[in-house]
Structure 1
Amino acid sequence: MKPPKPKKKRDSASPAPRTQYAALPWRINEGRVEIMLVTSRDTKRWVVPKGWPMKGRKPHIVAAIEAVEEGGLIGKIETAKLGEFSYEKRLASGATVDCRVEVYPLRVQKQRKKWREKKQRATRWFEGAVAADLVEEPELCDLILDFCVAPAQKA
């Protein structure tokens, strides 16, 4: 008779946050930085396009793919992340999971006429400070505000 397997210790701390990758879609319009936000499918909150890691794909490529799927956005994605933000994701089961999102700037060149999630989401360009005010995550708000100063100097 085999002895019973020892029980695994349960860590009292919450599990490590799951990683997602996001694009921060931007453009210069009349000398000002604008940020495109998309609505989430369920709550219709204003968010940036983001998604789960994809096997064999680099984080910035995943961010660019999500921007195409969620907003029909085509452009130049940066390989270096701009920063990170945290949020609590509600899963289809009703459970929630803590997520840490790495954000990559995407200079938008065009928006497709048709894209995968067009009927599920709204998209809209906002002046940087307005976009920052519309997102619920404080760290994302700060990222947007900080970013909106730098690209205007590049253009």
Structure 2
Amino acid sequence: MRDFLKHWSPQVDTAPALRQAGALPYSIVEGRMAFLLITSRRSGKWIFPKGAIEPGMTPWESAAHEALEEAGVTGEVSQSVVGSYRASAGADGSVLLDVDLYPLRVTQQLDIYKEKGQRMRHWATLSEAKRLLADPVLGRLAMRLHAQHIPS
């Protein structure tokens, strides 16, 4: 819906949006970076964990909390944003979200977690993540994090 509206009204991207925090979960194994993707409950598309910034939590703490609830992982979350993107929510996509993504180096993957059974999770290389992720901006943010951690 947002893309359709942008065609007719370029001001859509400057519309007010709710701020959310997301995690970009990753792990480095034998010098290679892998990213943990999850599916959206509504559309089934591949995304990174995200959600509202919880009262009493910093944005990066909220991002780590979302990763635990939605993907069943814990780890070391960065206080620095790797980047931001705009998304839409709601049944008709009418709610705009500005999501700040915080890198989360995964140290533990749980077998039992809050949203198990509601989502799938999948570890992917950078090239696979770029292909699977629903929003190309998410692939670019994964690429940015990869470039910061893995020498060319």
Scaled by the length of structure 2, the TM-score of the pair is 0.85
Give the letter for the 2:129 counterpart: A
Whole-Å Cα distance in 2 between the matches of residues 53 and 68 of structure 1? 14
Whole-Å Cα distance in 2 between the matches of residues 79 and 146 of structure 1? 16
Name the CA shift for 1:32/1:55 in 2 (closer, same or farther; >3 Å). same
Structure 2 residue ranges without an equivalent (≥5) = 1-10
Give the letter for the 2:44 counterpart: K
Aligned equivalent of 1:112, options 110, 113, 117: 110
Q: 4+ runs of 1 displaced by more than 6 Å?
A: none
Give 1:113 deviation, angstroms. Answer: 1.4
Largest Rg, 1 or 2: 1
Identity %: 33
Q: Is 2:82–2:144's contact at 8 Å kept on the other side of the alignment? A: no
Give 1:133 deviation, angstroms. Answer: 2.1
TM-superposition CA deviations, 1:40-72 (whole Å, max 9, x none): 111110000000121111000000000000011
SS of residue in 2 equivalent to 1:120 = coil
The residue that corresponds to 2:7 in the other structure is: none
Name the CA shift for 1:129/1:149 in 2 (closer, same or farther; >3 Å). same
Structure 1 residue ranges without an equivalent (≥5) = 1-12
The residue that corresponds to 1:9 in the other structure is: none
Residue-pair matches, total = 139
TM-superposition CA deviations, 1:63-102 (whole Å, max 9, x none): 000000001101000011111011222x15x452111110
Q: Is 1:86–1:137's contact at 8 Å kept on the other side of the alignment? A: no
SS of residue in 1 equivalent to 2:150 = helix
Whole-Å Cα distance in 1 between the matches of residues 93 and 131 of structure 2? 27
SS of residue in 2 equivalent to 1:23 = strand
Scaled by the length of structure 1, the TM-score of the pair is 0.84
Whole-Å Cα distance in 2 between the matches of residues 71 and 136 of structure 1? 17
Give 1:132 deviation, angstroms. Answer: 1.9
The residue that corresponds to 2:88 in the other structure is: 88
SS of residue in 1 equivalent to 2:114 = coil
Give 1:149 deviation, angstroms. Answer: 2.1
Aligned equivalent of 1:135, options 129, 133, 136: 133
Counterparts of residues 1-150 of structure 1 (less than 5 Å): 15-89=15-89, 91-92=90-91, 94=92, 96-150=94-148
The alignment yields a C-alpha RMSD, in angstroms, of 1.5
